[in-house]
Amino acid sequence: MSEFAFDLNEDQKALRDWIHGFAADVIRPAAAEWDEREETPWPVIQEAAKIGLYSLDFYAQQFFDPTGLGIPMAMEELFWGDAGIALSIVGTGLAAVGVLANGTEEQIGTWIPQMYGDADDVKVAAFCSSEPDAGSDVAAMRTRAVYDEAADEWVLNGTKTWATNGGIANVHVVVAVVDPELGSKGHASFIIPPDTPGLAQGQKFKKHGIRASHTAEVVLDGVRVPGHCLLGGKEKLDERLARARERAKKGGERVKNAAMATFEASRPAVAAQAVGIARAAYEVALDYAKTRVQFGRPIIDNQGVAFQLADMRTQVDAARLLVWRASWMAASGKPFDSAEGSMSKLHAGETAKSVTAQAMQILGGNGYTREYPVERMHRDAAIYSIFEGTSEIQRLVIARTISGTTIR
């Protein structure tokens, strides 16, 4: 277990500066163009792959950082550059986490490399959980996976929505219902290999923000995958379902489902993304306030502006500390006894929204135009109180955890 420290070591500082350089030199200059185009920025992803930033090795190194700070530092710096492009670079990670959280060692070694490809032929992956009638309410999921014992194959049917990289991914990770009577406890995750018949992209969404990140429906129509594409394997699934049925009879403890295992592991990383957006907007506003002259003096000389900036900086730093605490706890094997992962996601998401809004206010009319980046940052920040668990769901998780009661 690593001791918690506020001082980054030399390797961590070098990593932070390296990623920051890429964000400043490659991501930021391309941000406005790809936001307008609303397309996946393949050339930028390829540049990231060429330097090893978009690769399994890079994320594995950060994942196994004993302090837990490798992933949140990387996320903050990339999203400081631009959220839409950064999400295109890191979106594959959610599918990878899905495999890491639920898969066997063989599945991890087989499928995660195929999610990234290589510098000459980059690939992306998609994690497919949400459905048109099942977002936060995972128990309402309708996508079914039925086992064909004679062929040792799983047959999947249903529609997924809000899938990052959905339809354009090389590998899809799909959460489906295997036992409807168990509700959210009757779910399992499946690998859909490249070019599997029956999987198709549905509607591609035109979004308010994070426009450079591809978001679409994924339609599964009689998709057949081999038995070994069930993450964790059939024996483990049968044991888990048997325990869930027994506990359901007794009205006993909750059993984690496949989607929730992925989201719990990824929430501090998503929170770090929001911190990066908020920090970027704060820095733009601070620079602007120092140079914008009104009534013969810089506007930062006015308490009304200076106090806003003080609050913005405080919010950003507080959000980062919550992210670092949750990340360190996860790396140290400490349980989130007070829902610390959800705390980090809740506070960072709300901070990104409020700080970007304040930045627009400080820039005045300029902040409302696309000549300045805070307008885009404000649009990008809006999603962070919605995806991977809305702020309301985070509050529910925290309230249930600290109270020990089933709050509805």
Q: In this structure, which amino acid lies at residue 271?
A: A
**CB-side neighbour CA atoms (13 Å) of 16:** 13
Task: Report strand pairing: 125-128 vs 171-177.
Answer: parallel
Which helix or strand (DSSP H or E) is residue 118 part of? strand 117-118
Neighbouring CB atoms inside 10 A of 196's CB total 16
Q: Among candidates 203, 194, 144, 211, which has minimal Cα distance to 380? A: 211
388 is catalytic: yes
Q: Which entry of 3, 375, 388, 392 is annotated as an active-site residue?
A: 388
> What is the secondary structure of 217-251 as a DSSP string?
EEEEEEEEEEGGGBTT-HHHHHHHHHHHHHHHHHT
- Residues 152 and 4: their CA atoms lie apart, in Å, by 47
- Residues 181 and 178: their CA atoms lie apart, in Å, by 9
> What is the secondary structure of 61-96 as a DSSP string?
HHHT-TTS-HHHHHHHHHHHH-HHHHHHHHTHHHHH
- Residues 311 and 329: their CA atoms lie apart, in Å, by 27
- Residues 329 and 350: their CA atoms lie apart, in Å, by 22
Residue 134 DSSP one-character state: B
Q: Which residues are catalytic?
A: 388
